[in-house]
Amino acid sequence: MKRWLITATFSLALLIGGCSANPAAAPGPPGPQGQQGAPAPDTDRDRDRDRDRKAQEERDREQAQQGTTPTCPAGEHLYKDPSDGRTTCVRD
């Protein structure tokens, strides 16, 4: 009987102590939000650069099929790949 009384008292103390403890802190306020659905400025720049690069590669491919050498934009020069003989523009 004593053992049961001590166990019950201990359990009751834990129950009361657990219920009176402070809850965990809630997360802070959310940070600034951008316009919903609007792409980040870097994403736009990267997408434009990829589009321009792909367009240049397509022009180079068409010129290679016609047998003419591509003209490279400023800051680039012609490079002939020794493994397959293709001529492409590469950055200086």
| pLDDT given at position 89 | 84
Q: Where are the domains of the chain?
A: 43-92
| pLDDT given at position 13 | 79
| pLDDT given at position 8 | 87
Calculate the CA dihedral of residues 45, 48, 52, 54 and round it to 10 degrees: 110
Q: On the CB side of 87, how many CA atoms lie within 13 Å of its CA?
A: 13
| pLDDT given at position 65 | 73
| pLDDT given at position 12 | 79
| pLDDT given at position 11 | 83
Per-10-residue mean pLDDT of the chain, 92 residues long, equals 84 73 67 63 79 86 69 82 80 81
| pLDDT given at position 68 | 60
